[in-house]
Structure 1
Amino acid sequence: MLARKEELSSYLDNGSLPMTNSLAERTIRNFAVGRNNWLFSGSPRGAKACGVLYSIVESAKANGLIPYKYILHLLKELSRHAGKLTSEILEQCMPWNPNLISICQ
């Protein structure tokens, strides 16, 4: 510990640094619990679908959106543009798009 004193006390020099990684650990806790559930998804495709859905939900939550409203918005927008998706349309659907706050909160 003494050999790492400078690194361990870096949060004292910068108030924006957290003292612990508790927030990060709490954030991934649901993923760790869910990982055991994915063992019983029935197939690799089912497990992949669970992982994709989990990523969408967690990304929505991380960006302050209500996951249910965000998924509804995605389904409507992506089906409306089916067959002609462009990078601009996909960028508008990303959870960090500021326009989604009024739609998905």
Structure 2
Amino acid sequence: MRCVALGRKNWLFAGSKAGGDRAAAIYTVIETAKLNGLEPQAYIADVIAKIAGDWPAARWDELLPWNWRPTVHNVAEAA
């Protein structure tokens, strides 16, 4: 509960209503990722990379936290 209470206090200083709305959206994504057992930074980075890499709009449901699977990179490709 402490994270939510700190977030509430921080929202007082979002700068504008639009800033507060954005902060609420980001907190929602982060907490939803946590509830689904994901590491939020890895999840968000992978989803942004996939969307920027021409991910088809018809498959956006696969990027939701409860459907998302991390991309497995082959070690031989990295070397």
Classify the TM-score, shorter chain.
0.7 to 0.9
Structure 1 unaligned spans of 5+: 1-25
| Mapped partners of 1:74, 1:43: distance in 2 | 27
| Mapped partners of 1:96, 1:55: distance in 2 | 14
TM-score, scaled relative to structure 1? 0.59
| Mapped partners of 2:42, 2:7: distance in 1 | 22
Please give the per-residue CA displacement for 1:59-89, whole angstroms capped at 9, x wherever unaligned. 111011101100101111222237x623xx2
Which of 51, 55, 62 lines up with 2:35 in the alignment? 62
Structure index of larger Rg = 1
Matches for 1:83-98 after TM superposition, within 5 Å: 85-86=57-58, 89-97=59-67
| Mapped partners of 2:29, 2:51: distance in 1 | 14
Deviating beyond 6 angstroms after TM superposition, the runs of 4 or more aligned structure 1 residues are: none
TM-score, scaled relative to structure 2? 0.76
Aligned residues: 71
Structure 2 unaligned spans of 5+: 72-79
| Mapped partners of 1:41, 1:95: distance in 2 | 26
Alignment root-mean-square deviation, CA = 1.8
